Structure 1
């Protein structure tokens, strides 16, 4: 994770073309995938997702807006995306599933 990275409230699981699942937990994860590993098919939603992720990393847009734009880009290109379970939160030296 980059120092400038902004985590999402809930990770996102995407099924890639090879049938493997990949979990994206932050704005930087999504932008890195969009810019370096995205399938050839690109469209308006792809362009909006790249812009939203860049704006999110620069503090010009909320992280959740980037997440929603990334989901739309995934759907546009035929990559199924679902919300993954949130990661456990570390609190007082033990793992807790509840946010306090």
Structure 2
């Protein structure tokens, strides 16, 4: 039986290294990206975000924690991100962004 999804209040927009732009609205969206479209090299934040997303879907971790770890994993991987909490460090595009959305 599929696990019910958990929607975020604010979507996260991610630009992958190949230029593809994604708009993620939920824990399932994030987990799909982490598991199926991520670069081959995984960092510590990637692994933590995968575990946190899985736990959030089982109602064992707050969705906000999973979202924060997902954002950290995106920045660790060099993706440009926009959305999420209203913090300057997250709202700006990462230093590796090639162009703004």
Q: TM-score scaled by structure 2? A: 0.77
Q: CA deviation at 1:52?
A: 0.7
> For structure 1, which runs of at least 5 residues remain unmatched after alignment?
85-100
Q: CA RMSD in A?
A: 1.4
Please state if 1:47 is matched with 2:73: no
State the structure with bigger RCO (CA 8 A, min sep 6), 1 or 2.
Answer: 1
Runs of 4+ in 1 over 6 A off after TM superposition: none
SS of the equivalent of 1:67 reads helix
Q: CA deviation at 1:81?
A: 0.9
Larger fraction in strand: 1
The residue that corresponds to 2:19 in the other structure is 19
Rg bigger for which structure?
1
